Amino acid sequence: MKTWRQHNFREGVRYRVKKALTSPTSQFAEGDRVTFMESSYSRYDSSSGFMFRDEKTGEIKTWFLHDDEDDRSGEFFEEERA
């Protein structure tokens, strides 16, 4: 199920990680380049997941945001313009 959250990520668009962050299943290093794939929602965990593919390694990485957390995506991710 897609997330209920409004967000600025666009499928197929590449983002640069501005600041290192760790989620329960993934680590994002500053400077990583990742392509946004999709969002999902877990009622069980009350959280949204944002899935990215690491451009260098091909690894799928997920950033989680709980329902009670503010959207801080702009602090961590910056869209790369061609």
For 2-23, write each residue's pLDDT tens digit: 887 888 899 999 999 999 999 9
Residue range(s) defining the domain that contains residue 49: 14-79
Q: Say if CB 64 and CB 3 are below 8 A apart.
A: no
CA distance 18 to 40: 23
Position 36 in a domain: yes
Which candidate, 82, 73, 21, 28, places its Cα nearest to that of 55?
28
Give the confidence band of 44 by pLDDT, cuts at 50, 70, 90: confident
**Between the ranges 2-6, 9-13, 67-71, 72-76, where is the mean pLDDT highest?**
9-13
Position 4 in a domain: no
- The whole-model pTM stands at 0.90
The domain tally of the chain equals 1
Position 2 in a domain: no
